[in-house]
Amino acid sequence: MLPKISQRIIQEPSAMDELLALSSQCQRISFAAGYPAAELFPKKELEEAFVHRSQASKDDLYQYASVAGYGPLRKKLATKAQTTGITDIDENNICLTQGAQQGISLLADLFLDVDDGVVVEGPSYIGAIQAFESRKPRFYEMEMLNDGPDLDQLEEIVSSHSVKIVYTIPTFQNPTGVCMSVAKRKRLARMAEKYNFLVIEDDPYRDLRYQGKDLPSIKSFDRTGNVVMLGSFSKILAPALRVGWLVADQEVLDLVNKLRSASDFQPSNVTLQMIDQFLEENSLSAHIQRLRQVYGRRAATMQAALEEYLPQGCSYSRPEGGFFIWVTLPQGLSAGKLLQDGRPVTFIESSQLYAASQRADQLRLNFTGVSEEQIREGCQLLGQAITKERWALTA
Amino acid sequence: MLPKISQRIIQEPSAMDELLALSSQCQRISFAAGYPAAELFPKKELEEAFVHRSQASKDDLYQYASVAGYGPLRKKLATKAQTTGITDIDENNICLTQGAQQGISLLADLFLDVDDGVVVEGPSYIGAIQAFESRKPRFYEMEMLNDGPDLDQLEEIVSSHSVKIVYTIPTFQNPTGVCMSVAKRKRLARMAEKYNFLVIEDDPYRDLRYQGKDLPSIKSFDRTGNVVMLGSFSKILAPALRVGWLVADQEVLDLVNKLRSASDFQPSNVTLQMIDQFLEENSLSAHIQRLRQVYGRRAATMQAALEEYLPQGCSYSRPEGGFFIWVTLPQGLSAGKLLQDGRPVTFIESSQLYAASQRADQLRLNFTGVSEEQIREGCQLLGQAITKERWALTA
């Protein structure tokens, strides 16, 4: 017989795996996964970058390296972080992680004991909820409004409960697509100072803006080291590289690096140097510009298709960037039920995206991993499914 | 002000980082790190493998993939595991990890709550001790004998204390070089059944045998799923790929995969497919054969040099494989003191390798990452340092 697993761990199938399974079970069109467009991966450039770097390097490309990751790449990312308004930053404020997911997980592990307080947006990113869940915290939720989470609600929570971490995706939030206003970004940084919590600013979609103007990061308003920003190459280069990064002040970074060393020792120098050489040989902004054009068209196509095909009573978000549109169904309808009927079209239904509450009448649609034709067809199928479900309900 | 970090986490500099720093501070010759020989990395073959696979693959090489890792590579590793005597195994019993270190860390996280019992060998691998330490367990030690850990001592521990995990490196143990006998391997598997603990069989050096005969794995004696075996490409291919694997029965594997998904989502499909293609195009055993020849010579050279240069009263292990020789100093001498004097030669001193007790009179020498010339010179320097230290002591 096995020993008992930790009291922290819940023995349920992973919601993330269910999500991936959902995409593969789909009969026709899947809006479920948060995949970037595979046809836009800079395959040839990455091949060349790797071969050049491997040939040019001594054998140390393949050897053990440092826990924080390849220095020159950290330097480039420090410069990139400056464009979000962060000053006083250099490569020593960067730690390269196995995707941004590892950043969330390390911070959760570093700060949380059982029953410690964590605030997330309602709804939020399922991977973050899972990373926190395995520490068995107390979850609180702040409702998503059109300009970001409800910070009055947050103030009530943190002034009456002990909260260690506030997790937010300020730019083109997953799943709602909402962008946090500058005023709220600043206020959140100030609240972190006042109430001594850590803000995890998860910002993987920042570069994928199709309309409007870039906003400063929450981290740029941080005066006390209470904000950690996470970035990722998954959405702007390729997910399979598994490279993200964490921007933090020294105290947090030292602790993260130590825990990371015990967790998986260090990142892959092979993929880090592949990326570093890619950045030397190519323009990342030119590549991102291409992504913006394609994804911007897909976002517009999905909005037009939803406008055309969704029955009355539905509403949906109009994000200025990112990967997702968020749909709210007419009263009484359940998004999960739409997934049970032959699954001509799949998506993520809302109930598993709320950590503390539950809402079953919303769904997340991804528009980056599908063609414009698929988007139109899928939205039509979705509209039909909703109409059918509504009839069933009133019948 | 930051929130308080978890009560599990100790705010000390990482021993692993100190270890790496030690190698770089070395004035002359470092036997400290456990590095493979950089000049033997199959650089050209890995470049070719990557380019071939990238060109042949559709764009899915760079896309999100599965949490357990690339299926065909898991299949190859299941076949490899069979050569250690494990039957009834297929790719569903394998999870690809970020080095074997991630396997240790995931199992620690999965099973351990604060104050749970963990037994390690005294001395043991520092990275494992750190992975367990961040769960704040109760450590127990089983003494290393010439044929593996003292299992009578283990039986006393597990019959009088609650122990969840027994961690062992049965083949060419890090740091002692000791190989566990077949009888002990079998007995340990039976004890795990009887006392309901999990055995973590960390086996990264198995293929690097320079003398003697391969032994069956502990996992091959497992009838109840209480043994998990860890393997790694770090020592037999290249550490910077950060690819290890975990062999487990379904129940443990499902739990590990779920936790892994929350921890860093999934491994890098890029490095996994690079390795898979390398294995398709090249003979891993031929490559390992080359490593064995070079490392076998280095091991022999180090033993001869220690025989020649170490003063009387020192003893050292004579491993049949692996990366390390373990030296015990004459009574009263401290290995740490030898490191303070200009550091002409560096190594890992024993005090940080004992999780529960402390012994300061031993040291670990690596022979794979240094040339035979460096080995001879370094052993001579070490002999001189010991002699000098002994004079200082008796003076």
- pLDDT of amino acid A20: 64
Instruction: In whole angstroms, give the CA distance from residue A240 to residue B176.
Output: 38
Residue A344 counted as domain residue: yes
Instruction: In whole angstroms, give the CA distance from residue B322 to residue B298.
Output: 11
Q: Are residues B268 and B338 in the same domain?
A: no
Domain edge (last residue) among A252, A281, A310: A281
Put simply, whether A16 touches B (Cβ < 8 Å) is yes
Q: Are residues B317 and B183 in the same domain?
A: no
Q: Are residues A207 and A340 in the same domain?
A: no
* Residues of B with Cβ-Cβ distance to A246 under 8 angstroms: none
Instruction: In whole angstroms, give the CA distance from residue B85 to residue B76.
Output: 15
Chain center to CA of B195: 25
Chain center to CA of A148: 15
Q: Are residues A65 and A30 in the same domain?
A: no
Tens of pLDDT, residues A35-51 = 999 999 999 999 999 99
Put simply, whether B251 touches A (Cβ < 8 Å) is yes
Q: Are residues A92 and A211 in the same domain?
A: yes
> B131 to chain A, minimum CA–CA distance in Å?
5
Contact A263 B226 (CB under 8 A): no
Q: For chain B, where are the alpha helices, taking DSSP H only?
A: 15-25, 43-56, 71-82, 99-111, 126-133, 151-160, 182-195, 250-264, 269-281, 284-309, 335-338, 372-394
Give me the total of CB pairs closer than 8 Å, taking one residue from chain A and one from chain B.
261
Nearest by CB to residue B267, choosing from A65, A242, A270, is A242
- Extract the tokens encoding A55: 């040939």
Mean pLDDT calculated for residue range B278-299:
98
- pLDDT of amino acid B20: 64
Residue B19 counted as domain residue: yes
Instruction: In whole angstroms, give the CA distance from residue A320 to residue B239.
Output: 42
* Residues of A with Cβ-Cβ distance to B270 under 8 angstroms: 238, 240-242, 271, 274
Residue A3 counted as domain residue: no
Domain edge (last residue) among B265, B281, B297: B281
Put simply, whether B20 touches A (Cβ < 8 Å) is yes
Which of A268, A273, A278 would you mutate first to test chain B, the one with the most B CBs within 10 A? A268
Tens of pLDDT, residues B213-267 = 999 999 999 999 999 999 999 999 999 999 999 999 999 999 999 999 999 999 9
**What is the strand order of the sheet B163-168 is part of?**
B94-97, B244-247, B227-232, B198-202, B163-168, B117-122, B138-145, B148-149
Helix axes B99-111, B126-133, angle to 10 degrees: 30
- pLDDT of amino acid A60: 86
Mean pLDDT calculated for residue range B54-66:
91
Give Cβ neighbours of residue B262 (< 8 Å, ≥ 6 apart): A14, A16, A101, A105, A127, A130, A131, A133, A134
For A30, A372, B51, the CA distances from A301, given in Å and listed in that order, are: 16, 6, 36
Instruction: In whole angstroms, give the CA distance from residue B12 to residue B152.
Output: 34
What values do phi and psi take at A273, rounded to 5? -75, -30
* Residues of B with Cβ-Cβ distance to A49 under 8 angstroms: none
Q: Are residues A77 and A184 in the same domain?
A: yes
> A65 to chain B, minimum CA–CA distance in Å?
7
Residue A341 counted as domain residue: yes
Tens of pLDDT, residues A344-381 = 899 999 998 999 998 999 999 999 999 999 999 999 99
Tens of pLDDT, residues B159-183 = 999 999 999 999 999 999 999 999 9
Tens digit of pLDDT at every position of chain A (395 positions): 999 999 999 877 666 666 666 666 666 799 998 999 999 999 999 999 999 999 998 778 999 999 999 999 999 999 999 999 999 999 999 999 999 999 999 999 999 999 999 999 999 999 999 999 999 999 999 999 999 999 999 999 999 999 999 999 999 999 999 999 999 999 999 999 999 999 999 999 999 999 999 999 999 999 999 999 999 999 999 999 999 999 999 999 999 999 999 999 999 999 999 999 999 999 999 999 999 999 999 999 999 999 999 999 999 999 999 999 999 999 889 998 888 767 789 999 999 899 999 899 999 999 999 999 999 999 999 999 999 988 888 77
- Extract the tokens encoding B308: 């020649």
Contact B59 A38 (CB under 8 A): yes
Which of B190, B236, B222 is CA-nearest to residue B80? B236
Q: Is the distance from CB of A282 to CB of A42 less than 8 angstroms?
A: yes
- Extract the tokens encoding B273: 């497919």
Put simply, whether B200 touches A (Cβ < 8 Å) is no
Instruction: In whole angstroms, give the CA distance from residue A214 to residue A207.
Output: 8
Q: Are residues B199 and B242 in the same domain?
A: yes
What values do phi and psi take at B164, rounded to 5? -95, -35
Residue A277 counted as domain residue: yes
Residue B9 counted as domain residue: no
Nearest by CB to residue B240, choosing from A98, A224, A268, is A268
Which of B256, B252, B232, B250 is CA-nearest to residue B242? B232
- pLDDT of amino acid B340: 79
CATH number for B203: 3.40.640.10
Contact B17 A258 (CB under 8 A): yes
Q: Are residues A256 and A297 in the same domain?
A: no
- Extract the tokens encoding A189: 């940084």
Contact B2 A165 (CB under 8 A): no
Strands B198-202 and B163-168: parallel
Nearest by CB to residue A271, choosing from B7, B165, B268, is B268
Q: Is the distance from CB of A366 to CB of A32 less than 8 angstroms?
A: yes
Q: Are residues B24 and B78 in the same domain?
A: no
Strands A148-149 and A227-232: unpaired
B143, β-bridge pairs = B122
Domain edge (last residue) among A246, A281, A316: A281
Residue count of chain B, please give it: 395
Q: Which residues in chain A (48-87) have CB-CB distances under 8 A to chain B?
A: 50-51, 54-55, 58-67
Put simply, whether A88 touches B (Cβ < 8 Å) is no
| Angle at CA of residue A362, ends A357 and A366, nearest 5° | 120
CA dihedral B368, B373, B377, B379 (to 10 degrees): 40
Residue B10 counted as domain residue: no
Which of A64, A66, A274 would you mutate first to test chain B, the one with the most B CBs within 10 A? A64
Residue count of chain A, please give it: 395
Tens of pLDDT, residues B264-283 = 999 999 999 999 999 999 99
* Residues of A with Cβ-Cβ distance to B252 under 8 angstroms: 2
Mean pLDDT calculated for residue range B26-31:
80
Q: Are residues B34 and B47 in the same domain?
A: no
Residue B192's domain comprises 43-281
What values do phi and psi take at A331, rounded to 5? -50, 140
Which of A388, A300, A294, A299 is CA-nearest to residue A345? A388
Put simply, whether A350 touches B (Cβ < 8 Å) is no
Coil, helix or strand for B144? strand
Q: For residue B175, is the peptide bond before it cis, meaning its omega torsion is within 30 degrees of 0? A: yes
Which of B48, B62, B132 would you mutate first to test chain A, the one with the most A CBs within 10 A? B62
Contact A35 B240 (CB under 8 A): no
Number of domains comprising chain B: 2
Coil, helix or strand for A303? helix
- pLDDT of amino acid A15: 65
For A298, A336, A344, A349, B256, the CA distances from A377, given in Å and listed in that order, are: 13, 20, 10, 19, 38
Q: Which residues in chain A (128-157) have CB-CB distances under 8 A to chain B?
A: 130-131, 133-134
DSSP B280-319: HHS-HHHHHHHHHHHHHHHHHHHHHHHHHHSPTT-EE---
Q: Is the distance from CB of B154 to CB of B191 less than 8 angstroms?
A: yes
* Residues of B with Cβ-Cβ distance to A14 under 8 angstroms: 67, 257-258, 261-262
Put simply, whether A195 touches B (Cβ < 8 Å) is no
* Residues of B with Cβ-Cβ distance to A242 under 8 angstroms: 264-268, 270
| Angle at CA of residue A138, ends A133 and A144, nearest 5° | 85
Q: Would the pLDDT of B5 be above 90?
A: yes
- pLDDT of amino acid A10: 81
Q: Are residues A206 and A275 in the same domain?
A: yes
Burial status of residue B120 (CB atoms within 10 A of its CB: 0-12, 13-18, 19 or more): buried
* Residues of B with Cβ-Cβ distance to A51 under 8 angstroms: 47, 50-51
> B230 to chain A, minimum CA–CA distance in Å?
13
Which of A23, A62, A125, A256 would you mutate first to test chain B, the one with the most B CBs within 10 A? A62
Contact A263 B36 (CB under 8 A): no
* Residues of A with Cβ-Cβ distance to B294 under 8 angstroms: none
Find the closest chain B residue to A242 by CA distance. B268
Which of A164, A184, A266, A172 is CA-nearest to residue A210? A172
* Residues of B with Cβ-Cβ distance to A5 under 8 angstroms: 110-111, 255
Q: Would the pLDDT of B391 be above 90?
A: no
Residue A317 counted as domain residue: yes
| Angle at CA of residue B312, ends B310 and B313, nearest 5° | 105
Q: Are residues B85 and B197 in the same domain?
A: yes
CATH number for B290: 3.90.1150.10
Largest CA distance in chain B: 72
Contact A255 B13 (CB under 8 A): no
> B276 to chain A, minimum CA–CA distance in Å?
15
